[in-house]
Amino acid sequence: MQSAGADSARTAHDWVVVLMLKPIPSRILRSTAEVAVCSGTDLYQEQTYDRYTVRRVHLQPTEKIIKTRDNTDQQLAGVLFVDVRHSVPALDWAALLQQAHDNGGDMRVTVRGVTYTVMTCDGLRDDTDRLHHWEIGVV
C-alpha cells in the first residue's frame, strides 16, 4: 500500500505539459478560395488546370517583400491563411505549388473575385510539430 505522501515526492520533471496552439478562430475564416493548379498543357500548348474550392480561409493584405526563384525582390499583395482544422478540403499546398512549377505553370487563387498568383507556401507547425496552418503568399 502506498503512503499518502508518495505523490508529493514527484518533481517538476515527472510532469509533461503539452500546449497546442488553438486553431485560427472561425469568425476570421469567412472567405472561399478558388484554387487553380497547372496540371500540364493541352494539344494547343495551352496550360490546363486542376481546380479546387477551399472554404473557410482568410486573405490578409501585406506589403512583405520576398525573394523569387530567380532571386529578384517581389512585394506580396497578401497572405492567404488556411487553417488545418477549419478550412476544407485539406490540401497539401506545398505539393500543389511544386506540381504547378514542375508542369511549367503557376498556381492561382481567386478570393472575393480577385485572382492572385501564389508565390510562397509555408506550413507553420505548433509546439508539438503538427501542422497548424498554411500561409500562402500571393501577388
Q: For the chain, what's the residue count?
A: 139
pLDDT at 17 over 50: no
Block residue for cell numbers 477551399: 54
Class of domain 7-138 as given by CATH:
mainly beta
DSSP string over 59-110: EEE---EEE-TTS-EEE-SEEEEEETTTSBS---HHHHHHHHHHTT--EEEE
pLDDT at 49 over 80: yes
In this prediction, residue 127 carries a pLDDT of 85
pLDDT at 12 over 90: no
Whether 79 and 137 have beta carbons less than 8 Å apart is answered as: yes
Split at pLDDT 50, 70, 90, the class of 18 is very low
Q: What is the pLDDT of residues 85-126, one digit of tens each?
A: 999 999 999 999 999 999 999 999 999 999 999 999 999 998
Split at pLDDT 50, 70, 90, the class of 68 is confident
Domain residue extents for the chain: 7-138
Mean pLDDT of the chain: 88
Split at pLDDT 50, 70, 90, the class of 55 is very high
Q: Distance between CA atoms of 102 and 114, rounded to whole angstroms?
A: 25
Average pLDDT value for residue range 16-34: 81
> What is the pTM for the complete model shown?
0.82
In this prediction, residue 9 carries a pLDDT of 54
